[in-house]
Structure 1
């Protein structure tokens, strides 16, 4: 599904080059559920953002569904992302001015869904995440855990080919966290959705099919489960 070849990412800081990712080569097949682990500052979120086309690599080649992402213009990358990728952010990234219902509906507006289809899909997500009673509230009126559930519902509503999740259970209680991980596992096993998650939790990592450990911006190890 995707292939990274010699990907590096660095920033200039006061005349110094600060490396975040160093020469990463990585292939992820369709249908995998990959957990990325590693200490803080090892480059996990940056790697996820490069894969999710929210950030560009400084060097290297990135192929996604046979397209050369490193050669695409920003508009083309954005279209490829919206068409195929769902992203669950650690910091929610909900739109403050929109209700829960409208936040979840937003990705559907980029696709050709009729109004009745959008209503049915949003209703299904509200029901699945048990947030029907919150649909007319704004993000500021929700707890952190509720905001995270809305973010996950929004990422899943278009049934993306690839789901990227940055600490998806970080703001949930343990019961909610388990339910989300079980849902991810089900989406992976039954629907064939490819999932890449960044996590600090060994327990959550083991829901996947492979664990990749990063250290100092490089792949230190990769093991299949």
Structure 2
């Protein structure tokens, strides 16, 4: 499904080149559930953002669904992202001016889904995540856990082929966290959604089929579960 070849990411830090990722090569097959682990500052979120086309590598090659991502124009990358990828962010990234309902609906508008189908899909999502009573509220009126549930509902609404999740249960209580991980497992096993999650939790990582450990911007180890 996707292939990274010798990906590096550098930032200029007061004239010094600081490496966040160094020479990462990685293949992820359709239908895999991969957990990326590592200490803070090891480059996990940066790697996820590059896979999700929200950031660009300084060096290296990226192939996704037979497309040469590193050669695409921004508009083409954006179209590819909207068609195939759902992203659950650690910091929610909800749109403050939109209600819960409108936030969840947004990806469907990008995909030109008809109004009646959008209504049905959003109603379904609100129900599934037990946030029907919150649909007319704005993000600022929600708790962190509720915002995270809205973010996850939005990421899944357009039935992405690839789900990227950055600490998806970080702001949820343990029961909600477990329910979300079970939902991810079901999406992966039954619907064939490819999932890549960044997590500090050994328990969450164990839901995957492969764990990749990063250390100082390099792949330290990779093993199947």
Residue 222 in structure 1 maps to residue 222 in structure 2: yes
- For 2:105, what is the secondary structure of its paired residue? helix
Structure 1 unaligned blocks of 5 or more: none
Query: Counterpart of 1:148?
Result: 148
- For 2:221, what is the secondary structure of its paired residue? strand
Mapping for residues 121-140 of structure 1, pairs under 5 Å? 121-140=121-140
Query: Counterpart of 1:194?
Result: 194
Counterparts of 2:145 and 2:163 in 1: how far apart (Å)? 19
- For 2:183, what is the secondary structure of its paired residue? helix
Query: Counterpart of 2:84?
Result: 84
Counterparts of 2:133 and 2:18 in 1: how far apart (Å)? 47
Q: CA RMSD in A?
A: 0.4
- The total of aligned residue pairs comes to 225
Query: After the TM superposition, which segments of 4 or more aligned residues of structure 1 sit over 2 Å from their partners?
Result: none
Mapping for residues 2-21 of structure 1, pairs under 5 Å? 2-21=2-21
Counterparts of 1:115 and 1:23 in 2: how far apart (Å)? 45
- For 2:39, what is the secondary structure of its paired residue? coil
Counterparts of 1:180 and 1:135 in 2: how far apart (Å)? 19
Give the TM-score normalised by the residue count of structure 2.
1.00
Mapping for residues 99-110 of structure 1, pairs under 5 Å? 99-110=99-110
1:166-204 alpha-carbon deviations (Å, 9 max, x no partner): 000000000000000000000000000000000000000
- After TM superposition, give the deviation of residue 111 of structure 1 in Å: 1.0
Counterparts of 1:163 and 1:37 in 2: how far apart (Å)? 17
Give the TM-score normalised by the residue count of structure 1.
1.00
